[in-house]
Structure 1
Amino acid sequence: MITSKTFLSSIFILISFVTIPPSVFAQIDREAGPMNMTRSEVIAENGMVATSHPLATQIGLDILRQGGNAIDAAIAANAATGLMEPTGNGIGGDLFAIIWDAETEQLYALNASGRSPTGLSYEELIAELENQGAESIPSYSLLSVSVPGAVDGWFEMHDRFGSMSMTDILAPATHYAEEGFPVTEVISASWRRSVPFLKDQPGAFEETFTIDGEGPEKGEIFKNPDLGNTFRLLARQGRDAFYCGEIAEKVDSYMREHGGYLRYEDFEKHHSEWVDPVSTNYRGYDVYQVGGNVQGTAVLQMLNILEGFDLASKGFASTETLHLLIEAKKLAFEDRAKHYADPDFQDVPYDVLLSKEYAAERRELIGDEALADLSSGVEQLEEGDTIFLTTADKDGNMVSLIQSNFRGMGTGFVVPGTGFSFQNRGELFSLDPEHPNVYEPGKRPFHTIIPGFVMKDGKPWYAYGNMGGAYQPVGHVSLLTNIIDFGMNIQQAGDALRWSHSGSTQPTDSLSERLDGPGQVSIESSIDFEVVRELRAKGHNVQIGNSFFGRYQGIMRDHEKGVYFGASESRVDGQAAGY
């Protein structure tokens, strides 16, 4: 029976459909903004922080509210992520940063990566590997440990640009280390996968990083009082506590006891290096990366190649666009495998690698079919876990910072009482004696971690990055083309369909190696399957999913409106927040 109430409700619904403009229903899933965006950008006037952990973001934001600047906030947030996301970073790893300083109106780049043991020669390394029956430097061996550079990086940044005391900056992470924090969902999953591989390593891994021998569950409260004590030591004594004090002495004793090669002297000699960032102009935007022993140059090479194509007219995620992106990656990665190395030991040929002329030559190699036989065009002279974060303050300072253990929780070697695991970055040395990236004592290995920064018309515009091992250059280029070529905002650019390619020659290979076969293309499941069929017809070996597509954070400055836009990875636990 139809009541008067039911009748009136029906009339109201009918009138609503008649009177509301049809354009409104095009936004039925979102009231405004692009339909394929998981959430809106965060917008704030006075400051912005974007990290891979919500509590770390809140710590960085609190530092800004207390009067700290973007550099202070970045250090505080990084200390917190090292505690709360040990599956990706920590003070046993290295750090790279690009900083816009509003006072001097200049961009600065910091290489805070550590060096190999000075007491281990190439010949001794080869002998050790032969004794172990290994053909490359093992991931979870003391041979893969290089000096951790992150702590020195913090103090270099702070000495040059910081405003708050390091005691105040490290206080929030110290509190959470001692009182505990709830473990987030994705970090818990990664943590629990890592523990079985690492808990039997010599040292204090199990007592430091497990609860009853297991990784913590989602929502479980975890404490690391040893790391809290290390933070207190750093706050009181500065970087010297780590590199020529109590921690360096403990590391020396541990290494001697367990057959490692790092010594007190290696820590004492360590120093970070302020470097000139490398750059290229892409369609009017100046894109900056850290060069040298870092793969950031590959981003610039890919952009130079892609600049010769009208991507916008081909469309986002079309067969033509994806084909060009994949081929540009292959071309850049062959140079990456042959030339990127510690500049103290090798002159990286930037004049060629970053020239528009060289890009034009390489661009000519791209045809209708997938490249399957390729090497570097310059004469001779994969999965890693990491965090990226970015901060910005009311004065206009901006920080793009990336920090890593390399493989997840690193080696799992934990010196008792310190609360952190050593990185295995030394795994990325080549053993080919003719290779620029060959192992040598006191040398920095090849690094995958890259912070990104973009300037527009001489002003800071976009601090961005994504973790993910060898995926990172692909991720950077995807973000930039999404924004510059396809008009996406910075949250949409991170949410958009992702792809990756594996099979390129690696910096650990010998110089004689080259791309042999088309490699493996992986694309997220939202791809149009007709595009997959067309890519396969071009010779690409395509699979859906079954890969790692990185994690993203970004902050963009709108100078006209006087605000920051923030974005964070929607696939995992991160957060962007401002005030």
Structure 2
Amino acid sequence: MTRDFSQPGRSALYTSQAAVATSHPLAAQTALDVLRRGGNAVDAGIAAVALLGIVEPQMTGIGGDCFALYLPAGASEPIALNGSGRAPMAASLDWYQSRGMTQIDPYSAHSVTTPGAVAAWCRLLADHGTRGLDELLQPAIEVAERGHPVAPRVAFDWARDEHLLRDPVAAELFLHHGRAPSAGVLHRQPRMAETLRTIARHGWAGFYEGWVAEDIVQRLRAGGGLHTLDDLAATQPEVVRPIATDYRDHRVYECPPNGQGLGVLMMLNVLSGLDLDEGAISEADRIHLLAEVSKLAYAHRDALFADTSHAHVPVDELLSNDWAAMQRRALCMDSTRPPVIWPEVAHKDTVYVCVVDRDGNALSLINSIFHSFGSTLVAPRSGVLLQNRGAGFSLQSAHPNAIAPGKRPLHTIIPGMLMKNGRLAAPFGVMGGQYQATGHVALLSNVLDRGMDPQAALDAPRSFAFGDELDLEFSQPAWLDAELSRRGHRITRSGQPIGGGQMIVVDQDRGLLISGSDPRKDGCALGY
């Protein structure tokens, strides 16, 4: 599909050696600098994501978690890394239930699981990197120390959510005279600079032991949390085998649960039996189908997905042809249907970076503190803003995602990797909390069904069916409201951009890297 150059927009980036795509230009430039100095995809990705924790503090940081898919050049399958944190060892379900709690307050110390990001970065570098944290954290340290002009989209998010920053330390560090900084205002994080220096010197131990760990635990204990220094010291990522399915002669890889990547593969399996080529169906049909398969996948996610070391998740059954065929038969183009859990298995905010280096190594990396500004709790000396992934736990005894000591909660963040004929086709990812699974499907369909390049696929108007609403971006034509309402959807136009994303398509035959970065963010794709 050729871009209409008479319309606003930008072209995909074409390069031949290496490429990176991130949600902030400073992070993209940092990654490109690492690549030009001879670093590989992992080196560049870690340098970029560390910087994103400074320039997009509402989205990510070292107080959050990380998942990654890494494909070494020539490998036939990516390596998956689960860098999500765990509940404290004292966090028994009985403890919460005996206090009359029915859910975890997302802005309480109980919502904070042990941050897994730094441990994940250390493992990735130890296994696959060529540079050390002492070198790769320097750009983030320098920007935290000297400050940076706040980018426009970051300023938009910051102003929208400034009311969340009620914690005195958070207000001190992230508000300027009581208000969110506007675009162009210089923002500094000197405490974070010192913390990153400690991690640069001591690696894993610089975060999970010593004064930084003590600062985090003291802050959480002061807020009633059950965390201990032993909980932090036990934090390690886990290398796991990815899960996958086939779609349009490609192989799509995702991390297994406790993430929601399984939902992506479930939706693709249903859609694989339908003709979604450009011109084959109307835009209303396309949005309707995406909404219906999203609802069914998310219903299964909320009922069944959990930490597989603590609960059984029926991955094989949910990826079976029988499950996909049953759901496909239940689809109706003229009306909405409530999602039905298959009886055989029934049970009663983020940054993304992708890099391909000159040797053909590919990294798909996602890092998050969950809600905007996470739990909003900040460790005062270190300046670490803590995520609130524990809010995703259930406090229902029979639920597979019920909180338990050392358990990981259901996660929304999911990196993706696309392959064709056993070769790299694209690292890709979508940001946006709950939207991410739907976003992966929409992005892949835009590329594989509609023939869009990655930039056009990311530019395309979005929709998201979640709860009992179908939200349409304002760029969607107005006539869709009446047509989709007729089919039973409750339409909203929230005015908020839906998600973000990046993708690097690898054209193996021509030796090209074709990259895109979401216009809903401040970032860009760069390469050489």
Q: TM-score, normalised by structure 2?
A: 0.96
Aligned match of 1:302: 267
Taking a change above 3 Å as real, the CA distance of residues 412 and 531 of structure 1, as seen in their structure-2 partners, is closer
Seen in structure 2, the aligned counterparts of structure 1 residues 573 and 317 have a Cα distance that, compared at 3 Å, is farther
Cα distance in 2 for partners of 1:342, 1:35 equals 49
Do the aligned partners of residues 323 and 154 (structure 1) sit closer, same or farther apart at CA in structure 2, a change above 3 Å counting? same
CA distance in 2: counterparts of 1:258 and 1:448, whole angstroms: 25
Structure 1: how far apart are the matches of 2:278 and 2:17? 37
Counterpart CA distance in 2 for 1:186 and 1:487 is 29
Displacement after TM superposition at 1:520 (Å): 1.1
Moved more, 525-534 or 181-190: 525-534
Q: How does 1:60-139 map onto structure 2 within 5 Å?
A: 60-102=31-73, 104=75, 106-128=77-99, 130=100, 135-139=102-106
1:244 pairs with one of 209, 226, 230: 209
Go from structure 1 to structure 2 and tell me whether the alpha carbon gap of 1:258 and 1:473 turns closer, same or farther (over 3 Å shift).
closer
Q: Is the 8 A contact 1:56 1:77 kept in 2?
A: yes
Q: Is contact 1:90-1:405 (8 Å) kept?
A: yes
Do structure 1's residue 264 and structure 2's residue 229 form an aligned pair? Answer: yes
CA change 1:365–1:493 in 2 (3 A) is same
Correspondence 1:380 to 2:346 = yes
What CA distance in whole angstroms lies between the structure 1 residues aligned with 2:177 and 2:492?
A: 39
1:145 pairs with 2:145:
no
Residues in 2 aligned to 1:193 and 1:154: alpha-carbon distance in whole angstroms: 30
Corresponding residue to 2:187 among 222, 226, 233: 222
For residue 546 of structure 1, report the CA deviation from its aligned partner: 3.7
**1 or 2 for the larger relative contact order (CA 8 Å, sep ≥6)?**
2
Q: Which amino acid is the alignment partner of residue 55 of structure 1?
A: L
Distance 1:36 1:398, change over 3 A: farther
Q: What RMSD in Å do the two structures reach over aligned CA positions?
A: 1.9
Q: Which amino acid is the alignment partner of residue 301 of structure 1?
A: M
* d(CA) in 2 for partners of 1:390, 1:461: 13
- Counterpart residue number, 1:539: 488
Amino acid at match of 1:420: V
Q: Which of 241-250 and 55-64 deviates more?
A: 241-250
Separation (CA, whole Å) in 1 of partners of 2:111 and 2:143: 30
Measured after TM superposition, the shift of residue 317 of structure 1 is 5.3
- % identical aligned pairs: 39
The structural deviation recorded for 1:167 is 1.0
Residue 522 of structure 2: SS of its match in structure 1? coil
Which residue of structure 2 lines up, in the alignment, with residue 336 of structure 1? 301
Deviation at 1:563, TM superposition (A): 2.1
Q: 1:36 deviation in Å?
A: 6.1
Does structure 1 retain, via aligned residues, the 8 Å contact 2:114–2:231? yes
CA contact (8 A) 2:497 2:520 kept: no
For the residue of structure 2 that corresponds to 1:156, the secondary structure is helix
Shift of 1:373: 3.0
What secondary structure sits across from 2:475 in the alignment? Answer: coil
**Residues 522, 547 of structure 1: 8 Å contact kept:** no
| Shift, 1:430, TM fit | 1.1
1:325 shift after superposition: 1.6
Contact 1:465/1:554 (CA < 8 Å) preserved in 2?
yes
Q: Describe how 1:383-394 pairs up with structure 2 within 5 A.
A: 385-394=349-358
How do 1:462-477 residues align onto structure 2 when only pairs under 5 Å count? 462-477=426-441
Determine the structure 2 residue equivalent to 1:550. Answer: 499
Q: What is the one-letter code of the residue matched to 2:345?
A: E
Residues 396/88 of structure 1: CA separation in 2 closer, same or farther (3 Å cut): same
Larger radius of gyration: 1
State the secondary structure of the residue aligned to 2:54: helix
Task: Tell me the distance in 2 between the aligned counterparts of 1:163 and 1:372.
Answer: 51
Name the CA shift for 1:91/1:313 in 2 (closer, same or farther; >3 Å): closer
Q: Deviations over 1:501-530 (max 9, x none)?
A: 111xxxxxxxxxxxxxxx211122333444
**Residue pair 1:179, 1:223 contacting (<8 A) in 2 also:** yes
Worse overlay, 364-373 or 491-500: 364-373
Could you give the per-residue CA deviations for residues 171-211 of structure 1, whole angstroms, max 9, x where no partner exists? 1111111111111011112223333322x325x22332222
1:442, distance to aligned residue in structure 2 (A): 1.0
- Aligned equivalents of 2:6 and 2:290: distance in 1? 24
1:292 aligns with 2:257: yes
**Relative to 1, partners in 2 of residues 1:46 and 1:560: Cα closer, same or farther, differing over 3 Å?**
same
Corresponding residue for residue 14 of structure 2: 43
> Residue 274 of structure 1: SS of its match in structure 2?
strand
Structure 1 stretch displaced more, 72-81 or 556-565: 556-565
Give, in angstroms, the shift of residue 415 of structure 1: 1.1
Aligned with 1:177 (options 125, 141, 144): 144
Over 3 Å counting, the alpha-carbon distance change for 1:316 and 1:55 in structure 2 is: farther
Write the distance in 1 (CA, Å) between the matches of 2:5 and 2:481.
24
Structure 1 equivalent of residue 395 of structure 2: 431
- Structure 1 residue 567 and structure 2 residue 516: aligned? yes
1:407 paired residue among 371, 374, 378: 371
The alignment of Structure 1 onto Structure 2 pairs a total of residues equal to 526
Distance 2:203 2:234 in 1: 16
- d(CA) in 1 for partners of 2:5, 2:185: 36
